[in-house]
Amino acid sequence: MKNIFKNLSEKHDVSFWSLLIPVLIWIVFGMGEAIHWTPFYILAFVALIIGVIKAVHHAEVVAEKIGEPYGAIVLAIAVTMIEVSIIVSLMLEETADSSSLARDTVFAAVMIILTGMVGLVILIGGLKYKNQVFSLQGAKSALTVLVAISVLTLILPNFTLAVPGPFYSTGQLAFVAVVTLILYASFLYTQTISHKSDFTSGEINQHSHGDAPTKTKAIISAILLFVLLVVVVMLAESMAHPLESFIYDIGAPKEISGIIIASIILLPEGISAVKAANKNQLQNSLNLSLGSSLATIGLTIPTVSVISFAMGFPISLGLNPEMMVLFLLSLFIIVLSLSTGRTTILQGIILLVVFSVYLLTVLIP
């Protein structure tokens, strides 16, 4: 089998591990179905993380080959499928707090990106290069759409009257889901077709990744992407109950589930963003970060809404008062931080401080 993978990798310019890893993950999944042993769940969790990272990698290869805007759509859909699969798997556990899982995951993802990821890349760039520049118009466009979607999905439900509590009525939820998709699609069109130049910086090379992948390599990556998406979904389902049990046993707040899921999904994008910042490519880092946050909230909420209609899951979207205040503060600070087209370590430090406050507030409400 090793010789088969080696011959395929040499013939089609695909790494040996890219072919072997999906097979190993499927083996881990199969063993997990037969071996219900607590320490084995750690191996399954590691396999899940590796599967997510490799799936996103293959989605990026396909995206690079087919070009924009279709490439960005493929990447966003792939990431959203992984996130939604994990959310739905945990919701199927039918715990008392499952209605808020989608909200907690989306909120955690946006907070991790806006305060943690963006703060880290700005700090790294500031320490190494003092000042970094980016396209102001592109950042404004992304933040405008992000603020609109965030308020509509995570804040407004607390103030509607049709249904008591932080819920939308069925009609309201359907309307907001459609509007959210329209806003995200409009941003994607602006970024990839009508105003591409707004999302590039003249001082930063945005395409420093070498030659485009061959057609054969792209096809293999598409096949491996599908294989990995299937096994990641199945692994997520198998890990749902152990994760819920672990969080309950250690007495951690239920919001930790959302943070864990968001961290797994955002790990590949976070690594790429940090690498770009270290190469003085802040524009690339911001495109990855802000694009990920928009895809997370712009695609996950509508997708989970459709699933809730089909399966009868209630979805609690409105944030509680302390998180709502912290979220509005984060949006305000990120808008100010990216309002001049240049950054220093100061903005990075402030954002990371807010991120630490968010984690503290989750752990100690």
Distances (CA, A) of 262 to 43, 225, 275: 19, 20, 20
State the pLDDT at residue 335. 92
Q: Which one, of 212, 224, 262, lies nearest residue 63 by Cα?
A: 212
Cα 269 from Cα 79, distance rounded (Å)? 10
Task: Write down all domains in the chain, each with its CATH number in brackets.
Answer: 2-363 (1.20.1420.30)
Please answer whether residues 343 and 125 qualify as being in contact, where contact means their C-beta atoms are separated by less than 8 angstroms.
Answer: yes
Q: Which one, of 271, 305, 307, lies nearest residue 288 by Cα?
A: 271
3-state secondary structure the chain: CHHHHHHHHHHHCCCHHHHHHHHHHHHHHHHHHHCCCHHHHHHHHHHHHHHHHHHHHHHHHHHHHHCCCHHHHHHHHHHHHHHHHHHHHHHCCCCCCHHHHHHHHHHHHHHHHHHHHHHHHHHHHHHHHCCEECCHHHHHHHHHHHHHHHHHHHHHHHCCCCCCCCCCCHHHHHHHHHHHHHHHHHHHHHHHHHCHHHHCCCCCCCCCCCCCCCHHHHHHHHHHHHHHHHHHHHHHHHHHHHHHHHHHHCCCCCHHHHHHHHHHHHHHHHHHHHHHHHCCCHHHHHHHHHHHHHHHHHHHHHHHHHHHHHHCCCCCCCCCHHHHHHHHHHHHHHHHHCCCCEECHHHHHHHHHHHHHHHHHHHCC
The series of mean pLDDT values per 10 residues for the chain, 365 residues long, is 50 67 86 74 84 82 70 68 73 63 87 92 91 88 92 93 90 94 91 81 48 80 85 76 76 82 80 84 84 85 87 86 94 92 93 95 87
Please answer whether residues 255 and 108 qualify as being in contact, where contact means their C-beta atoms are separated by less than 8 angstroms.
Answer: yes
State the pLDDT at residue 5. 47
Q: Which one, of 262, 307, 191, 199, lies nearest residue 183 by Cα?
A: 191
Amino acid at 333: I
Partnered with residue 133 across adjacent β-strands are: 342
Please answer whether residues 181 and 298 qualify as being in contact, where contact means their C-beta atoms are separated by less than 8 angstroms.
Answer: yes
- Burial label, 165 (beta-carbon count in 10 A; 0-12, 13-18, 19+): exposed
State the pLDDT at residue 205. 44
State the pLDDT at residue 31. 83
State the pLDDT at residue 202. 53
Q: What is the pTM of this model?
A: 0.81
Residues shown for the chain: 365
State the pLDDT at residue 72. 58
Please name the residues in contact with 66: beta carbons below 8 A apart, sequence gap of 6 or more. 74, 218
State the pLDDT at residue 22. 86
State the pLDDT at residue 127. 92
CB atoms within 10 A of CB 3: 7
State the pLDDT at residue 321. 92
Q: Which one, of 275, 322, 244, 227, lies nearest residue 18 by Cα?
A: 227
The single residue listed with the structure tokens 């084995």 is 40
